[in-house]
Amino acid sequence: MFSQSLRYELLGGADLCAAVEEEQVWVLSAMQSCGQELITLLWRILGNEQDVCDVYQSTFLRLAHFQGGQKPECVKAYVYRTATNTAISMLRSRASEQRRISKTPRQEGIVGSPEQEISQKQLIEAMRTHIARLPDQLRDVITLRDLAELPYGQISKMLGITAGTARVYRCKAIALLGAWMSTENETTSE
């Protein structure tokens, strides 16, 4: 099982480095330097092993093919931004699919109690959906601060803003999420 870790001995082997073109060795270096933190971030956003693997692979494929194999100016920021955007796109498409499915007529006679319907898993999925709806700046800060548990100083460097601005964006994001969640609770309790 993947269990939120990655075996780096597989990434750094001599056979793999020999198989990679010389100008692409920096991609392996990026995988080794960002890999574990990125996996932790993706686990917190997605909560599913297969999704984490898919987004991780997609992120580094995009990095390897960035502008014809060129190295981005800030590799770590590119990796985190690409992974976050890919994960959020995945969540959005799932939410859209769930909305489509929920519009289909339900089977009669199968109605659960409110306690059964509002489970912890549903609350987590609702929160992920709401995070995906946040404006880019707010979403990036809350994802990096609360899901990746990065300090404000590192977030500010990655996003090109001040640490104070990052704090303000996080407060705004939390206020929006709280409002959306309470509105959702009111509509489901009626």
Q: Which residues have C-beta within 8 Å of that of residue 135, sequence separation ≥ 6? A: none
Tell me the domains of the chain and their CATH numbers: 1-103 (no CATH), 118-190 (1.10.10.10)
Q: What is the mean pLDDT of residues 169-188?
A: 83
**pLDDT tens digits, 35-80:** 888 888 888 888 888 888 888 888 888 888 877 777 778 888 888 8
Centroid of chain to Cα 176: 19
Q: Which residues have C-beta within 8 Å of that of residue 47, sequence separation ≥ 6? A: 124, 128
Spatial distance between the Cα atoms of 183 and 177, rounded to a whole number of angstroms: 10
Whether the CB-CB separation of 9 and 32 falls below 8 Å is answered with no
Tally of CB atoms within 10 A around 8: 12
**pLDDT tens digits, 132-170:** 889 989 998 988 888 888 889 988 888 899 999 999 999
Whether the CB-CB separation of 160 and 123 falls below 8 Å is answered with no
Least-confidence region, from 13-27, 84-98, 126-140, 169-183: 13-27
Task: Say what the pLDDT of residue 104 is.
Answer: 60
Task: Say what the pLDDT of residue 118 is.
Answer: 60
| pLDDT band at residue 8 using 50, 70 and 90 as cut-offs | very low
State which H helix or E strand residue 176 sits in.
Answer: helix 163-189
Q: Which residue has the higher pLDDT, 84 or 121?
A: 84
